[in-house]
């Protein structure tokens, strides 16, 4: 299947017509951002296409007139399938209404590189999970020793915590080094100041499209059908703040300062050809967490680190989403099993995605083993944790039926901590 938009057929493009990721864009002269879909080097204005009647979600109101994807997501799976099919036909078939109309070309199709990307959806709530077994074993080994690496509940339950929706930001937003309390090794009392052990976490974010009813649990299959799509997610972490504050209730300020996501939401439908099963279970899961079929995806993931002032980046991690132990559908089903009401725009972080090999570790905490084994970059510099000016970029792609299904980069640069107020 090829498109009459030539760049969508280019080898290696992350956005072929088999992908059709959704986002929100604006040009340099526009005040109001608009909903978009990406094809190759082009973006199409979905609000304009909807206004012309070229796409129609058959909801009771237009779904692409706002500056977020929430209205479209809330329209539900039937609307997602309908619009995806309409867009596929519009950009690949014999429909001349857009293909052969120069006026409509100029009014709806723009160069992606010239666009500014914005938050693609309004985040209702954000929940981060701890669902990567290799990551959990690595971190647990540092803290408790390898014989007690996993807590007793880990093989039975997707562990998670409620994060901050207010600090989820789109790729390209600077990440300000947080201030907070830490307790230096051997000290009896904490000190205050900028985090010195700032880290990234390589994750995949699942975007909930439709809500469930308060008090009603979900099956894993129902949860899977509620997921609109996926984004790359960097759950920035201040490890020294976390070490001091996390007992007994888990991280708080150490995770609340920023979470970056990629600007394009890859629809779940685009990833159907790359579904794979979760890893073998060491212990049987309770019935409500059992999967009706493959629930993970074969998605290649990489992390690049460009040091402050450096002229190039070093790829410091290569791993795959299939290494995660609990799928997003399982995480969502577990989240709702107590009766919790999930909402349109809820975001679920997968947890750090690490593999069994050293180069597959999805955080500096693991790569530099708690700071004891500094990582040497191609520039010759070393890193145990992130320094001001460092740029971290996550990338991800799957090899689907029509070539690469990409997410676009998720990038953040570390900005210095703010000046401390006169307390």
**What pLDDT, on a 0 to 100 scale, did the predictor assign at position 402?**
67
How many alpha carbons lie under 13 Å from residue 183 in its C-beta half-sphere? 10
Catalytic residue positions?
135
Instruction: State the pLDDT at residue 416.
Output: 98
Residues 380 and 360 in one domain: yes
pLDDT of residue 289: 98
Write down the pLDDT at residue 28: 83
Provide the pLDDT for residue 403: 81
Q: What is the pLDDT of residue 260?
A: 98
Q: Does a structural domain hold residue 1?
A: no
Rounded CA gap, 279 and 327, in Å?
10
Does 42 lie in the same domain as 134?
Answer: no
| Tokens linked to 312 | 């190039």
Q: What is the pLDDT of residue 394?
A: 98
* pLDDT on residue 126: 98
Instruction: Report the domain count for the chain.
Output: 2
- Assess whether 135 and 113 both reside in one domain: no
> For the chain, which residues score pLDDT lower than 50?
none
The confidence score (pLDDT) of residue 1 equals 84
Per-residue model confidence (pLDDT) at position 258: 98
Boundary-marking domain end, from 58, 89, 117: 117
Shared domain check, 149 and 19: no
420 domain residue, yes or no: no
Residues 106 and 181 in one domain: no
In a shared domain, residues 215 and 296: yes
Residue 188: both structure tokens together: 């009896």
- Of 117, 136, 170, the one marking the end of a domain is 117
CATH code of the domain covering residue 11: 2.30.30.230
**CATH number of the domain that 198 lies in?**
3.90.850.10
User: The pTM is what?
Assistant: 0.97
Domain final residue, candidates 85, 117, 149 = 117
Domain ranges, residue 87: 6-117
β-pair partners for 25: 34, 117
Give CA 68 to chain center in angstroms: 17
Residues 40 and 100 in one domain: yes
């Amino acid at each position: 299947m090829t498109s009459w938009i030539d760049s969508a057929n280019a080898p290696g493009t992350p956005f072929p017509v088999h992908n059709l990721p959704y986002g929100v864009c604006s040009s340099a002269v526009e005040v109001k951002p608009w909903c978009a879909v990406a094809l190759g080097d082009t973006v199409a204005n979905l609000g304009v296409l909807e206004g012309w009647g070229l796409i129609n979600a058959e909801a009771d109101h237009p779904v692409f007139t706002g500056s977020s994807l929430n209205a479209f997501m809330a329209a539900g799976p039937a609307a997602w399938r309908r619009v995806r099919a309409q867009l596929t036909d519009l950009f690949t078939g014999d429909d001349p209404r857009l293909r052969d109309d120069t006026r409509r070309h100029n009014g709806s199709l723009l160069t992606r590189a010239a666009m500014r990307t914005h938050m693609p959806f309004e985040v209702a709530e954000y929940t981060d999970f701890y669902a990567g077994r290799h990551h959990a074993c690595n971190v647990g080994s540092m803290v408790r020793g390898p014989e007690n690496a996993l807590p007793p509940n880990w093989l039975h339950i997707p562990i998670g915590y409620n994060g901050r929706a207010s600090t989820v930001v789109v790729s390209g937003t600077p990440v300000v080094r947080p201030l907070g309390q830490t307790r230096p090794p051997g000290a009896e009392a904490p000190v205050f100041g900028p985090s010195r052990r700032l880290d990234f976490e390589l994750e995949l974010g699942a975007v909930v499209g439709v809500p469930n009813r308060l008090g009603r649990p979900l099956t894993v299959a129902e949860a899977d059908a509620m997921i609109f799509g996926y984004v790359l997610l960097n759950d920035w972490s201040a490890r020294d703040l976390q070490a001091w504050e996390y007992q007994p209730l888990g991280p708080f300020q150490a995770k609340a300062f920023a979470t970056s996501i990629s600007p394009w939401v890859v629809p779940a439908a685009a990833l159907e050809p790359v579904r794979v099963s979760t890893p073998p279970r060491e212990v049987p899961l309770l019935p409500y967490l059992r999967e009706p079929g493959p629930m993970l995806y074969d998605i290649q993931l990489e992390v690049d680190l460009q040091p402050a002032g450096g002229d190039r980046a070093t790829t410091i991690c290569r791993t795959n989403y299939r290494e995660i132990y609990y799928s997003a559908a399982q995480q969502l089903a577990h989240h709702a099993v107590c009766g919790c009401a999930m909402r349109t725009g809820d975001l679920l972080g997968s947890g750090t995605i690490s593999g069994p090999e050293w180069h597959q570790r999805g955080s500096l905490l693991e790569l530099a083993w708690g700071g004891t084994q500094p990582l040497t970059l191609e520039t010759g510099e070393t890193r145990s944790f992130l320094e001001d000016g460092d740029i971290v970029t996550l990338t991800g792609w799957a090899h689907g039926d029509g070539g690469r299904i990409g997410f676009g980069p998720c990038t953040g640069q570390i900005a210095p901590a703010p000046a401390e107020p006169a307390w």
